[in-house]
Amino acid sequence: MRILVFGRTGQVATEIQRQAEVTALGRELADLSDPMACAEAIRDHAPDLVINAAAYTAVDRAESEEDLATVINGVAPGAMARACVNLGIPFCHVSTDYVFDGSGAAPRAPSDPVAPCNAYGRSKLAGEEAVRAAGGQAAILRTSWVFSAHGGNFVKTMLRLSETRDALSVVDDQIGGPTPAADIAAALLIMGRAMVAGHAGGLYHFSGAPDASWADFAREIFAQAGRATVVTGIPTRDYPTPAVRPQNSRLDCGSLAAEFGIGRPDWRAGLARVLKELEQA
């Protein structure tokens, strides 16, 4: 099977390359700020499956670069999806819990109403809408709080801060599911292969379990890493950022398990693997 992946050095794209024989296109070969070039790359490679694991992910910077974020996260996936429709091949696209407003405490189902509370979320929602509008055989996988041994992420930030600080204040009223990039990659490959075999695709959620706050996540990082850093939980209002973050990022992942047999991974086990890899680096 010929799999074309947009993204080469990002967290999910790196893990896909570790798990499967793929052609991965970095920015130098497929810049998502040029959507037509991305569509042309699909036509040139004529793969059996396309996975878009590339995105504009600078959540705070997106507040001042929303037009660029929307091209990369919104227009480009739409162009990819249309190219896949024209070639009659399936398309997998990664989205985010940030398409929701973060209210309430119940896990959000794929069918629940969306209402992004920041520019990044709006740009990702634009991508979802463009992919669906293209029609064809497409799957959108919303995920959350991605981490791995590479790239920038919360785990690596906490470890870096703990090297010079004995105590940290971390938000404890935002709740979600930390998700290992390796598990997202595995899920995308399972979904993509099922689609090549005839599955129609759809809209799905995938996040690690159990749900936790950022403060809970930080405490587990330090416990597993053997760091003595003390974590004090604080409310979101005490840690202002340019972009508003959703407080409820819980995701209902039941349909992914029902249709593909993909359950929620234990993020604590994934964290142990990431810490081991970082130690060996």
Tokens coding 271: 């964290």
Q: How many other CB atoms are there within 10 angstroms of residue 198's CB atom?
A: 8
> For the residues of 137-178, what is the DSSP string, one character each?
SEEEEEE-SEE-SSSS-HHHHHHHHHTT-SEEEEE-S-EE--
> In sequence order, which residues have a C-beta less than 8 Å from that of residue 5 and are 6 or more positions away?
13, 16, 17, 22, 23, 24, 25, 50, 51, 52, 53
Cα gap 192→170, rounded to integer Å: 37
Catalytic site includes residue 120: yes
Spot the catalytic one: 56, 120, 204, 239: 120
Distance CA 158, CA 193 (A): 36
Alpha-helical runs (H) found in the chain: 11-19, 35-45, 66-70, 76-87, 119-134, 154-162, 181-196, 214-225, 254-260, 267-280
Closest CA to 177 of 202, 154, 201: 154
Q: Is residue 187 packed enough to be buried (19+ CB in 10 Å), middle (13-18) or exposed (0-12)?
A: buried
145: amino acid identity, one letter: W
Q: How far is CA 159 from CA 2, 31, 209, 238, 241, in A?
A: 38, 32, 21, 22, 21
Residues known to be catalytic: 120
